[in-house]
Structure 1
């Protein structure tokens, strides 16, 4: 028994020594290369017209955001789930929507000869992808296929953590997606920390939540897109407008949902009062 205990003690000493050596080697390796952790900045909460229980979309901002998407983002990002006819929700007439859709080409078919063909898009069509398939999209973008933008504003929401999310329940805060998109689009000018190595062909952005850097280069610059309504043509304004548009694309019925929710709350409050008064009336004459 003593020999067994002695053997176990020796084995423990050997393992502890080995663990110390491995830890030292790992620490030396990290210090020689780069920091093991990299900073990720949290998006700053922005002021959105559609925020809060009574928020509504700014149609002018949505139209500007659509222009940003068309002239900048659509070169790489699709919106497969968004039909052209829904653009009437931005304030466009059916004729304007038809003209806008006709600027795109979509694949249709097969025809009488069994072949696919291309035609101008119509309002019932969806925004076409700029690439024929995901593999071609990845090849054209350093191996990373650009994500579809249909639901990006809802899919890229950054968790705000405790205790902020508790207050969000009462304020109906649901704009963390647009906040993140705006922060990402305006965060390219920051330089990586000392000692951090960025993979070749990628670009540092401290707001990117999936890694140190991303394949997408800075997409916006001042004066890149012309606004006819006199709105400032700055990166910050571009980012705000396209973020609002992508929020609308992800949730086009947001205003109707908020109105319905408010009506339901009023109904439940009145119904609760009626139930209480009925209960008092029914039980008022009942002997205890």
Structure 2
């Protein structure tokens, strides 16, 4: 009997080792190229974790970077000016959001004469596109289509394989989108030996699709002057606009986290009530 139990334990241990080995094999890079792929460094964000909240000052600076730099090539067709004054957002007042909307010209019409015209933007208007259509955008960008940035904070993310995504679920790591955007914006450098980018492309160590990207370096030190006196460095610009794009992709992030905490607290209390009710109801029943 002892030998049978020992054998079963050994069999269980062997099976566990096999499962662990399979997990490590799945987690390991499939090739040397993948092993030397881009390394996305994690950043510290105010909105990380279950109690995270957006830094309103950072979001306002990020909007300024988007407006003065990114909006010359990229659209944000899903974002409206009125959302800049919503709770959990950049913290602009309704009057400030109205003033920001009025700084852009929006095509409208036709008027009574049947003609199209331009008018100042309203809070209900969405962020304008720098190009009238896709063909005009490609023509201006040498055939490349600048992607819309409305959901970029969530759409472009580091996809971590098994078993890392399991750890991320427990650690509540959800900042892989802004991590990637920040690393991309700060990842331009001279191509290493053995890598040559075609004409019109730049080497970027964080670009996941390839090592060469059509977008030239969009940010540089001193490019944008912040109203609050924050130093205008490449790293600051990249961090602020990455946070802004995360908010644009998930404007209700703070409300979602607050609701989740309330639900978890309710479930803990409810489970406790069920446990003690069960103990009370069955305390007089012999087992």
TM interval, short-chain normalised: 0.7 to 0.9
Query: Could you list the runs of 5+ residues in structure 1 that have no partner in the other structure?
Result: 1-34
Q: Which runs of 4+ in 1 moved over 4 A?
A: 35-39
Aligned positions of 1:58-69 closer than 5 A = 58-69=55-66
Counterpart in 1 of 2:206?
207
Pair 1:73-2:66 in alignment: no
Counterpart in 2 of 1:174?
174
Q: Secondary structure at the match of 2:246?
A: helix
Counterpart in 2 of 1:132?
132
Normalization by structure 1: what TM-score? 0.84
Counterpart in 1 of 2:226?
227
Cα RMSD of the aligned pairs, angstroms, is 1.8
Counterpart in 2 of 1:48?
45
Q: Secondary structure at the match of 1:179?
A: helix
Distance in 1 (CA, whole Å) between partners of 2:68 and 2:59 is 14
Normalization by structure 2: what TM-score? 0.84
Shift of 1:36: 8.4
Structure with bigger gyration radius: 1
Q: Which of 80, 85, 98 is the matching residue for 1:83?
A: 80
Shift of 1:39: 5.0
Counterpart in 2 of 1:94?
94
Shift of 1:216: 0.7
Q: Secondary structure at the match of 2:63?
A: helix
Q: Secondary structure at the match of 2:282?
A: helix
**Deviation per residue, 1:138-191 (Å, 9 max, x gap):** 111121110001000100011133333222111211101101111011111x22
Change in Cα spacing, 1:128 to 1:38, as seen in structure 2 (3 Å) is farther
Question: Contact conserved, 1:102 with 1:120, CA < 8 A, in 2?
Answer: yes
Q: How many residues align?
A: 253
Shift of 1:206: 1.4
Shift of 1:274: 0.7
